[in-house]
Amino acid sequence: MVTALFPGSYDPITNGHVSVAKKAAEIFDKVYVVVMTNTSKSYMFSASERADFARDALKNIPNVEVLKRPEELTVKVAHELGASAIVRGVRNSDDFRYEQQIAGINEKIAPDIHTVLLFTDPEQSFVASSMIKEAAKFGGDISEFLPDLAKKALTQKMRSSHE
């Protein structure tokens, strides 16, 4: 059985993330979508909330399991879960360069784990959580970018912050 880890901050999970998770589930026997921490980001939602959004969005994919490991190194989690691959989603050339750097570091730390880059669907290639949060903050329609539970939570959070 070939297992993959699809790590991310998922603040919140987008339809682009869902697209990549579905593609990974077609390739690998088991895919762990793992909510982690990027120390250069500040988060709107807790790790538990982010994991709940991901679980809801991915609930119909039987070989995908959502976990949260916000305080751990990605390759360490991959080893713990028996994953031989780390899946990363790529939207554009900027993502590619960034992911190439991360893959290089990960491969130096854990040469037995390889990074697999999967492209988002073209209609999601411009979508970033930060842009969606910005649009939601000013009342923009974000319905086509997020799964339902994440959309509702983000909309509610933005309403609450304006009251």
Q: Is the dihedral of CA 148, 87, 124, 102 positive or negative?
A: positive
Catalytic pick among 50, 55, 68, 129: 129
Catalytic pick among 9, 17, 50, 55: 17
Catalytic pick among 41, 114, 137, 159: 41
Residue 19 CA to residue 87 CA, distance in Å, equals: 12
Q: Count the neighbouring beta carbons within 10 Å of the beta carbon of residue 107.
A: 15
Cα angle: 53, vertex 54, 60; to 5 degrees: 110
Residue 149 CA to residue 119 CA, distance in Å, equals: 24
40 as an active site residue: the answer is: no
Catalytic pick among 23, 50, 55, 91: 91
**Residue 19 contacts by C-beta under 8 Å, 6 or more apart in sequence?**
89, 120, 121, 124
Tokens encoding 117: 């880059």
Q: How many residues does the chain have?
A: 163
129 as an active site residue: the answer is: yes
Please say whether the beta carbons of 50 and 35 come within 8 A: yes
41 as an active site residue: the answer is: yes
- Which positions are annotated as active-site residues? 17, 41, 91, 129
